[in-house]
């Protein structure tokens, strides 16, 4: 599809009579491929083979409500767990003969800036921790994204402090 070829595709799970991708991607030979997941034997290996970026999950900050307790525990273990996942990616890259530096590690992080939730300092500290282990891009999942104030706070109070980490 990315090359403009519209010939039928018959695969194990999908059958496409006339695959069309319009408009065509600007980047060649294809758009960057981000693969999300943390399975060490399959998913992270697929990142090493095919991905341009990987997306790992942070878990939920303890101040965030409405998440399952295991997801808050997932957050508490974030630095050693994410460091291990990136080490596994590095090893898969070595095995497939691909430079690890070709892959951009990213993290999906639930963030809620509100008086009863996270502060700008909490978000800055989180970004600093992730930067220290080699993550330069964090994708914020904001449950209160419909509110303008948290976005203004990120623009005014978080970005100026983390821009030098990139």
Tens of pLDDT, residues 51-69: 999 999 999 999 999 999 9
pLDDT of residue 33: 95
d(C-alpha 164, C-alpha 145), whole Å:
25
Q: What is the pTM of this model?
A: 0.86
Asked whether the beta carbons of 100 and 47 are under 8 A apart, the reply is no
The mean of the pLDDT values for the chain is: 93
Residue 166 confidence (pLDDT) above 80: no
Q: 75-96, pLDDT tens digit by residue? A: 999 999 999 999 999 999 999 9
Average pLDDT over residues 30-42: 94
* Residues contacting 77, CB < 8 A, separation 6+: 59
Give the SS3 label for residue 118: strand
Specify the fold of 32-165: TIM Barrel (3.20.20)
Q: What is the pLDDT of residue 24?
A: 87
Domains of the chain, residue spans: 1-31, 32-165
In 3D, which of 113, 17, 125, 59 has the Cα closest to residue 1?
17
Q: Write down the pLDDT at residue 78.
A: 95
Confidence of residue 18 (pLDDT cuts 50, 70, 90): very high
Burial class of residue 80 (count of CB atoms within 10 Å of its CB; 0-12, 13-18, 19+): exposed
Q: At 22, is the pLDDT very low, low, confident or very high (cuts 50, 70, 90)?
A: confident
At 30 the pLDDT is 87
| pLDDT grade for 3, boundaries at 50, 70 and 90 | confident
Q: How far apart are the C-alpha atoms of 26 and 130, rounded to whole Å? A: 30
pLDDT in tens, 68-80: 999 999 999 999 9
Q: Tell me what pLDDT residue 29 has.
A: 85
- The whole-number average pLDDT for the span 129-134 is 95
Burial class for 93, CB neighbours closer than 10 Å (0-12, 13-18, 19+): buried
């Amino acid at each position: 599809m990315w090359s403009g070829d519209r010939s039928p595709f018959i695969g194990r799970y999908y059958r496409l009579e006339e695959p069309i991708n319009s408009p065509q991607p600007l980047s060649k030979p294809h758009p960057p491929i981000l693969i999300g997941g943390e399975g060490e034997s399959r998913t992270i290996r697929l990142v090493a083979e095919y991905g341009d970026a990987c997306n790992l999950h942070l878990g939920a900050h303890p101040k965030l409500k409405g998440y399952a307790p295991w997801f808050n525990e997932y957050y508490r273990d974030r630095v050693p767990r994410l460091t291990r996942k990136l080490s596994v990616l590095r090893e898969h890259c070595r095995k497939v003969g691909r430079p690890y530096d070709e892959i951009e590690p990213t993290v999906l992080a639930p963030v809620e800036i509100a008086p009863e939730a996270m502060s700008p300092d909490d978000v800055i500290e989180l970004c600093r921790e992730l930067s220290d282990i080699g993550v330069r891009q964090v994708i914020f999942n904001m449950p209160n994204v419909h509110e303008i104030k948290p976005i203004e706070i990120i623009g005014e109070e978080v970005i100026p402090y983390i821009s030098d980490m990139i």
